[in-house]
Structures are given as structure tokens and as C-alpha cells.
Amino acid sequence: MKSIRLKIAVLSVFALGQSFSNFAQEQVLSKSEAIALTLENNYNIAVADNSVLIAENNSDILNSNYLPAVFGQAGANYTIQDQRTDRDDGGSFELDNAKSESYNASVNLEYTLFDGLGRLYNYKSLKETYNLTKLETRETIENTVLQLFSVYYEVARLTENVEILEQTLEISKNRVKRAGYQFDYGQNTKLEVLNAEVDVTNDSINLMNTRQLLENTKRDLNVVLARELQQTFAVDTNVIFIPKIALESYLDLAKENNVRLLQTESSITLSQYDIKTSKARFLPTVGLTGSYGWNESITPASAFFGGSTRQNTGFQGGLNLRWNLFDGGASIIQLKNAKIAKENQLLLKEQINLEVDRDIANALGNYENLIEVYEIQEQNVITNKNNFERSRERFNLGQITSIEFRQAQINLINAATNKNLAKYEAKFAELQLLQQVGQLLNVEF
């Protein structure tokens, strides 16, 4: 996972020191830089990274029960008692307020030599859980990257639409000037001037609304990047599609790289370890114990002996075996449930296989369709641009009315904005296809 993120983050190096856009003089936020900022700052990714760290800690040898437990113990006891001792000859001896003291300290060791291999499969399960968590984090990163580009491309689309509407407004303003001059010289009516002014008003409002929508969408992008909302920037409006031959090679390996299928395989492996861990409960546990300790006891004088102090130090070791011959049936139930859980995972795998096949087919179909739509819209822009230029020449010569000229202008605006929409929809569909085939984080944007 670190290698994947490093590969993407390295791309950001080339984004530093970007040039400024010609129309707004804002620093360009390149695609690679946007990805790097997202990987560094996005809150969902940060939470997912922490989950990986927790899983990594859990899979460490220190959490495996393979290492012995070493602990120290110490204690002290102090008692005051009235004692009476009866002798065999019938006499007795009494001692009031007899004091006794005892002290002990030891270092102890406990180690499980064998537990039916339950410890082994539990350790392997923790390792596989770590692998599954990394796959879940990869899925989070993929979804966040898609979210990023959904907003990034919307900013790019609106940026290009603003440029189109600015050019449209400039043409409409020039038309007002021309209509005013013609009216002054008696070449047209006041109605032509008013129509031109109405079109300027409409174009101005469209431009204002699009600019406001652009600013709102930029703030949306800053949220994904987890940075200041008022951070200003421009985006890269260039779009390069992946060659068809590369996509075909990705499709061939889709089943091996799809993150959902990889997660399913990991879950099946975990269920297999659960079964083996459950079976281990039917076997005995063999443990080793050892200690090195010191003890001291001080006893009061008695009828026959004077007060005494006793000390001892030394090693003690032992070997023990525990075998649950019957635990009320809990182990049997656990094993049965583990086998059912594995069966559920196998059924889920079949379902996910079918869903992934559908998702890949849908993503490929959407992509191919949108690419074709984009190519048609590109040609449509060329057609409408030629039509607009001819209409402008004829309008300047007085051969068509202002309404006909305005219609040609609107057709060009619609064609250009539709082309922008088709371009970014096709590119986003490509990213969705790359996610389905497991290559979203392995390509350059």
C-alpha cells in the first residue's frame, strides 16, 4: 500500500511550480498535485491509514502469544496472635501478642509450549486481517480518488464554460455597438438595438451564474483536499485518454486485480483460519512454568523452641498439561459456526464475482458509448462553428436577421458546452472502468 501511495505522490513533484493560467492568473492545480494533496490531507484516507497501523500492530509477534510471559511478585505478611500450646504431658503454654512476619519476592515465567496449533492459526489470521485492512484502505483511496476527479473535472468543465460564455458576451457587446451605429445612421430600427441589449443581459446573467457555480465547485474541491475553502486555483483542462490496447490488457487481468474480489479471497482465508483455530480447542495445552524466588519468615518463641527466622532462595520449575475433555459443547458449536461462516463467504464470493462481471461490463459499455458521444460532439462543434462564422458574415452584410444570427450563436454555445460535458463524462467513465479492473492507482492522470 505504501508503494502505491508513493507512486502516486511522486507524480506531484512535477506539479510544483506550475505556470499560471492565461485567463485568471491563478496557479494551476495539476491532477498529480491534487492526488498528492488528497493522499496527504483527506480525512477518510487518514482514518483508513490509522486502521492499517492498528492491524499492523495486531499482527506483530508481540501480539501472537508466542513469547513467554515474565512477571515479578512480592508480598509481606504481619500477624499478632495469642497462642496456646498443649503438651503431651498435660501441661500448656500460653503466649500473648505473638508476632509472625513473612516476606517473599520472585521472578516468574510462564510459556505455552503447545496449544493445539491455535496460536499458530490465530497469528496467521492476524496477518491476513492486516492484508484485508490494506485492501480496505486501497478501496477507500480508490473511492476518494474518484470523488476527487468527479469534482476536479466539474471545475474544469465550468472553467471552459466560463471561457465560452465570456467570448459569447464579448460578441454580444460588439453587436450592441454595431446596432447602435447602424441605428444612428438610419440603417436599422431601435428594435434591433433593444434585441441586442436583451441578449447582452442574458449572456451576462449566464456568465455570472456559471462563475458562481465554478466558485462553489472549487470550494467543494478544497473540501476533498482538506484545505482552506478560500484557496484559489485553476485546473488543468487537458484530457488524455488511455490507449485502447492498454485498456484491453487491463481487462484481461481484471479478476486478479479487482479490489472487491481480493477482499473476498482474504475473507475466505480468514474463515479457514477460524475453522483451524476452532479445531485446536479439542487438543491439549502444554505449558512451562518457572520462578526464582526469595522467602523469609520470622516466628515467635514457643513452649519448646526460641524465636526463629527462616530464609530460602532458589529456582522452581514445572510442566503442566491441560486438556478440556468436555467444555459443555462450546467448542463443538464454535467449530460448526466457523464452517457455516466459511460457506457464507464462498456464497458471497459467487455473488461478488457476478456483480464484478456486471460492473466491468457496464463500465466498459458506458466508457465506449461516452467516447463515441464525445467524438460526435467534437464534430458538432466544428459544424456549428462554421455555421456561426458564415452567419456572422451574412449578418454583417445584412442578409440575415439578428434573430437568425442569435440562433446560430446559441447553437454554437450549446455545442461547445455539450462537447465539454461529453469530454469529462468520458474521462470519468474511464476512471470508473480503471477502478473496476483494479488499475486506478497504477496509471498516470
DSSP for 40-109 reads HH-HHHHHHHHHHHHHHHHTSGGGTT-SPEEEEEEEEEEEEEEEEEE-TTS-EEEEEEEEEEEEEEEEEE
d(CA 31, CA 215): 18
Domain boundaries, the chain: 28-67+115-284+325-437, 71-114+285-322
Strand partners, 83: 95
pLDDT recorded at residue 299: 75
Distances 432 to 34, 207, 362, 364, 425 between C-alpha atoms, Å: 18, 31, 10, 9, 10
pLDDT, tens digit (0-9, with 9 covering 90-100), for 21-55? 343 468 999 999 999 999 999 999 999 999 999 99
Residue 192 confidence (pLDDT) above 60 = yes
C-alpha cell read off for 38: 488528497
Q: Name the one residue in this structure whose C-alpha cell is 456483480.
A: 355
pLDDT, tens digit (0-9, with 9 covering 90-100), for 148-191? 999 999 999 999 999 999 999 999 999 999 888 888 887 777 88
Can you identify the CATH homologous superfamily of domain 28-67+115-284+325-437?
Answer: Outer membrane efflux proteins (OEP) (1.20.1600.10)
Residue 217 phi/psi, 5-degree rounding, is: -70, -35
Distances 288 to 121, 206, 285 between C-alpha atoms, Å: 21, 82, 10
* Tally of CA atoms within 13 A in the half-sphere of 243 that contains its CB: 3
pLDDT recorded at residue 186: 78
For residues 281 and 337, the answer to whether their CB atoms sit within 8 Å is no
pLDDT recorded at residue 307: 52
Q: Decide which of 82 and 20 is more confident.
A: 82
Residue 280 confidence (pLDDT) above 80 = yes
For residues 165 and 413, the answer to whether their CB atoms sit within 8 Å is yes
DSSP for 185-217 reads TTSS-HHHHHHHHHHHHHHHHHHHHHHHHHHHH
The lowest-confidence range among 315-329, 353-367, 378-392 is: 315-329
d(CA 362, CA 269): 29
Confidence band for 79, pLDDT divided at 50, 70 and 90: confident
Cα dihedral value 421, 422, 425, 431, nearest 10: -130
pLDDT, tens digit (0-9, with 9 covering 90-100), for 81-140? 776 776 666 667 676 777 888 899 999 999 999 999 999 999 999 999 999 999 999 999
Residue 85 phi/psi, 5-degree rounding, is: -115, 125
Distances 246 to 249, 441, 443 between C-alpha atoms, Å: 5, 15, 10
Residue 2 confidence (pLDDT) above 80 = no
